[in-house]
Structure 1
Amino acid sequence: MKIKNVILLSFILFLMSCYDDKGNYDYSEMAEIKIENLPETLEILGGIEHIVAQPKVISSLEGEIKDGNPNFEFSYKLELKGGSQLYNEAWVDLNPSKSLNLDTLISIPSGNYVVWFAVKDKRSSIEYSTTFDVKVTSSTYEGWLVLCNEGEEERVRMDMISVISADRIEPAYDLLSLLGLPDLKKATKIGFYPAPVATGDVIYLMSEEGTYKLNQNTFETSDMYNIYTTDFIVAPSDPDESIVEYMPLANMGPPTARAIFAVSNKGNVYALVTAAGAAFEMPINTSVRGKSPEYRVAPYVGISMVRYPGNSTAALFYDIDNKRFVGWSFKSPTSNDVNQILTPVPNPEVGGLFDFKTGMDLVYMEGTRYSNGLVYAILQNASGKRVIYGINMSGTGFVQESKYENLNAPDFDKATVFAFHSQFPYMFYGVGNKVYLHNLGTNMTYEMKNINLGANEEVTMLKFNLYHNNYWWPEPSEEFMARQFELMVGTYDNSVSGVNGGKLGFYKVDGENNSITKRVEYSGFARIKDVRYRERR
């Protein structure tokens, strides 16, 4: 009985203590939290449209909880619908700042996601939460892929000018930040091969630290998408060797490649002959198949850009050790040994314009459709003087067609970026913050003054985006087809704070008046290195 009395007394004292503390919120009363004004489902374009939320949070004890209230913090966490893993994490924190309202841009694959919104009372550590759905649709289906180097470390970054419809074109930024791309530095080029419909197109992102294939539907990538894993029989033994150029040679028949070439930063070149195999073998900068490389080649592939069906069976390379042109010519798959070697290009027996063993350094080389497949090569001698050779690659290739020397071209010897037109004998080159048009036919040069760049701006890229496909469905407009002959000008404004000072302008070229006219310009990119239109049939 005594024990029972003690227990009863203790219980009475406990009740009295609770009664004395009535009204003390810290111990006895629990607030009821209501969360309002969140969408049930939010539909966005990945990498283009922001996830925006402005919830209203009401406490039964304190009224509406405003942003900045020191007693509360807020969180938004995103994961795949159903709780599946999302890029090595169960969720992605959308607002590390713990603010009430959300306005964030995130690049994630198309799909259905859920966002968890939580309100935490920091005094009691109690959380209240709710969810809303986010449906992400693709912004990467078609448009201009914009490969950039970001910041002083030159982090590789892929932006895009997404063609959502004929009437809606939107820029999207840093598309691969959550899609598995390793932390790479020093982007070089975009590799693109519009393979047949059954297999889909091939997109490679190339850098000095690695080359990776992008998933054609989601743009996801990983170490398993390294080109040495996906496209090579045996990976190079040098761990620092990286593919920096990837170029398909169009077949003369269906819209496929006769061969694909890959050039590395170590000066090796590889050939994938589609009729004979499905992977790159040993380097072909050798005179005997499978033998160790005998010299290094420059990171350029000279081919006819008459595409699908193509008009050439040859490719041009430059031996930087012996300072000469070397060539590749297709033979039947039954004589595949000669498809895996390069051969010095012989001089013509009569009527030669120059020696294919130039003794000069190659500055730049580009294939065009001009004159049915002309490759332009810019070379520089020991004194710094530059010349241009034109080599026609139609048919079996290697035909000397033109030679341009004693160029009336201001600062041409200082130029770092170039582009050759496929309809007119025009070369564009950039020096600092200026772009010049040089007419090869008249040897006259014109400064493009309507590309008005400030003292802190510089030209980082000049290019023409020649389409690969001839098999479009539905039939494209004349305006769309004409855009492949517009000059693309990438610039960077070094006075802009942060890492987004890049712009990409599109200029129509006037072949009669040696001039260009801006059609449109987009901004917000990092330092542009390469641009490639992702074509869709």
Structure 2
Amino acid sequence: MNTHHYKSILLSFFFACLLTACMKDKGNYNYTPINRVTIQGVDSAYLLDYGTRLQIKPVLKFSEDTHEDTANYTYTWVADHLVGYTMAPTIISTARNLDTTITLDYGLYAMYYRVTDKRTGVFTDSYFTLNVGAPSYEGWMMLCDMENGNSRLDMISHRGNSDTLYPDILKEVHSAYKTTGTPSFIATQFAYLGGPTNGSLGIFVATSKNAVLLGLDSLDYVPAYDLKNFMSVSEPITDWTGADINLRMYGGLLYVNKNIYAIGFSSITNPINTQDGGTALFNASRWVGQNPSSGAAIIFNDDSKTFLRYPGSGTTCLTLPNGDLFNFSTGMDLLYATFVPYNSGEVFAVLKSHATGKLFLARFTVAGKQNYFAEITGENIAGAETFAVSPELGYLFYNAGGKLYEYDHAAKHSILMHDYGNRKISLLKFQPFASTYATASNAVYYTTLSKKLLVGTYVQGQPENSGILDMYTVPDINAQLQLYRSYTGTGKIACIAYRER
């Protein structure tokens, strides 16, 4: 076949196709509109306690059906996933209206309600969130002194955007734990000790009678949760009067009966209050300055009035190198000490001279580098009762009676920040938080709270419900404290911690 003839065939085929394409399509195209469902009456968010009843009655509208024939539709209520995690969706109901007892695990869920037209397979979703919790799920936990030899655990429950005070939270959630004895400590931190701590945030509570771990969500308790069960001491501790605890991620230091025990990954060791590898135990101070990152700490030998360094592991404390500003063998009483991230990490210690009665402030690193030592010349400092240090600005706060002061160690003067009059101050604290790392869901909120000064006050003789927890923003340049939040009706707050999520 020659080339000219081949091209003629191709042109003929092209024009035939073009003619066919231009011919009128005589097919039948009568379209039937698809029935569309509109869902109303489902809120964007729901908050309820575990094991309680959730009722939702949606209002459905249809673009084509004049009335709802339930035989033509399927209905599905789905827990799609726990926010921040991946999981297989869980169908919690297939009823048109939701009326069921929620037994999902504690947490915030992404949910949806789906209505499907069985005739076409077309479905419509309505999305919402469901926060399954309990009054004890998140918030401030306050161990209160009832002034009758016993304690009470109060809680300011933080749920959504609201805070609710529950005096005696253990009674509210039907916990078996009884706070008999005077308050010793309450603290929270991620732990692997066992019992209810399985890598999650553990709740440590101690009164003079016992020390325990509480269940993570509903504060449940069984005797196996007693802290003595995780200790390697030969004789179980029965007197926890004045005990204290410094926790860090999966570890910390426990003070009880003038001894200090290291909290390891899965157990609590024998006492570490020996010096330079010796075997003799010295009487340790309750005031410990531990770097939460390294685990290294400053421990005070109350017998020799000497600061020592605990390296973060092992069973002994070490002598610190000679200092440039003061002698680590101080010869003074230690009134208060804490580690703060201020100035890249320092221990602040308040000391009192036997000879003169004067108070001194020492600032130094856990490695022993001394940065500051001078007499505290603040107003009413001789009558100071409790102390706290701003982790951000390094101001020292103290109270004398109902007067609250801020001490600027650089300017060497104090400023009266608030006079509570006849109200007694039972607590000063800046609360450290575990979940402030960048990927934590509540990092910004917890970082904000960690910078607030907590002040607990009460009326003497009324320890049950006269308590107030004030939270203050601490400005720089010695400006007056700014009230951030205030909660009334607590007990006399002896110690406080925050149950994070």
TM-score scaled by length of structure 2: 0.68
Distance 2:442 2:233 in 1: 41
Instruction: Specify the alignment match of 2:371 in structure 1.
Output: 401
Question: Any stretches of 5+ residues in structure 2 without a counterpart?
Answer: 1-46, 51-104, 107-131
Instruction: Specify the alignment match of 2:180 in structure 1.
Output: 184
Instruction: Specify the alignment match of 1:499 in structure 2.
Output: 464
Distance 1:45 1:221 in 2: 19
Instruction: Specify the alignment match of 1:281 in structure 2.
Output: 269
Deviations 1:312-337 (A, max 9, x none): 35111111111111221145xxxxxx
Deviations 1:52-89 (A, max 9, x none): xxxxxxxxxxxxxxxxxxxxxxxxxxxxxxxxxxxxxx
Q: 169, 173, 191: which one pairs with 1:175?
A: 169
Instruction: Specify the alignment match of 2:64 in structure 1.
Output: none
Deviations 1:459-511 (A, max 9, x none): 11111112222346664474653221111110002265x72111100111111
Deviations 1:88-132 (A, max 9, x none): xxxxxxxxxxxxxxxxxxxxxx99xxxxxxxxxxxxxxxxxxxxx
Instruction: Specify the alignment match of 1:485 in structure 2.
Output: 451
Q: Is the 8 A contact 2:140 2:157 kept in 1?
A: yes
Q: Is the 8 A contact 1:283 1:290 kept in 2?
A: no
Query: How do 1:156-235 residues align onto structure 2 when only pairs under 5 Å count?
Result: 156-165=151-160, 167-177=161-171, 178-195=174-191, 199-229=199-229, 231-235=230-234
Distance 1:241 1:154 in 2: 13
Q: Is the 8 A contact 1:182 1:223 kept in 2?
A: no
Bigger radius of gyration, 1 or 2? 2
Instruction: Specify the alignment match of 1:299 in structure 2.
Output: 286
Give the letter for the 2:287 counterpart. Y
Q: CA deviation at 1:422?
A: 1.4
Distance 2:431 2:474 in 1: 13
Give the letter for the 2:344 counterpart. N
| Count of matched residue pairs | 369
Q: CA deviation at 1:212?
A: 1.2
Is 1:317 matched up with 2:299? yes
Q: Percent identity?
A: 25
Distance 1:495 1:454 in 2: 15
Instruction: Specify the alignment match of 2:150 in structure 1.
Output: 155
Is 1:347 matched up with 2:322? yes
Task: Summarize the Cα distance change of 1:433–1:475 in structure 2 as closer, same or farther, 3 Å threshold.
Answer: same
Task: Summarize the Cα distance change of 1:476–1:179 in structure 2 as closer, same or farther, 3 Å threshold.
Answer: closer
Q: What secondary structure does 2:204 align onto?
A: strand
Give the letter for the 2:246 counterpart. M
Distance 1:513 1:237 in 2: 48
Q: CA deviation at 1:381?
A: 1.1
Q: CA deviation at 1:453?
A: 2.0
Q: 266, 271, 276: which one pairs with 2:262?
A: 271
Instruction: Specify the alignment match of 1:461 in structure 2.
Output: 427
Is 1:387 matched up with 2:352? no
Q: Is the 8 A contact 2:179 2:207 kept in 1?
A: no
Q: What secondary structure does 2:155 align onto?
A: strand
Q: What secondary structure does 1:500 align onto?
A: coil
Q: Is the 8 A contact 1:211 1:226 kept in 2?
A: yes
Q: CA deviation at 1:436?
A: 0.5
Task: Summarize the Cα distance change of 1:366–1:289 in structure 2 as closer, same or farther, 3 Å threshold.
Answer: same
Task: Summarize the Cα distance change of 1:436–1:153 in structure 2 as closer, same or farther, 3 Å threshold.
Answer: same
TM-score scaled by length of structure 1: 0.64
Distance 1:375 1:413 in 2: 21
Q: CA deviation at 1:153?
A: 1.4
Is 1:244 matched up with 2:243? yes
C-alpha RMSD over aligned residues: 2.7
Instruction: Specify the alignment match of 2:403 in structure 1.
Output: 434
Distance 1:472 1:141 in 2: 22
